[in-house]
Amino acid sequence: MGYYTVHTAENLTKEQIEDLAKIADLPEYYLTGEEECKWYSFGDDFKELSLKYPDELLIFSGEGEESGDIWKYYAKNGLGYTAKAIVIFPDFNEAELE
């Protein structure tokens, strides 16, 4: 068993996606939001890619199989962090009632 996530390269070039596929040993279609996969070394692999392009901010997004598991991962020059989505409901507005 494992946890499936759809991973999508936000701003990577074709060359960067090819490089990441080699680093991760995954088919490219797992990196472009076409199919979900289990990819436990994602953070390390993405940071490794960012070392090859140290001056660029690389952005990847993911959506896990559990409701609300949405995130973006930012990497630059071997460093990275995950920003998890925050869902906010607007305050109740009685004028909106139909």
Mean pLDDT of all residues in the chain?
Answer: 95
Which residue in 19, 97, 1 sits closest to 56, CA to CA?
19
Q: Tell me the pLDDT band of 1, cut-offs 50, 70 and 90.
A: low
3, 4, 64, 73 from 9: Cα distances, Å = 19, 16, 15, 10
- Read off the tokens for 24: 């991760």
Whether the predicted model's global pTM rises above the 0.75 cut: yes
Identify the helix (H) or strand (E) that includes residue 84. Answer: strand 79-84
Residue pair 30/37 in contact by the 8 Å Cβ criterion: yes
Q: Tell me the pLDDT band of 68, cut-offs 50, 70 and 90.
A: very high
Averaged pLDDT for residues 53-58? 97
Instruction: For residue range 39-54, list pLDDT tens digits in order.
Output: 999 999 999 999 999 9
Amino acid at 83: A
Please state the domain extents for the chain.
5-86
- Give the model's pLDDT for residue 2: 81
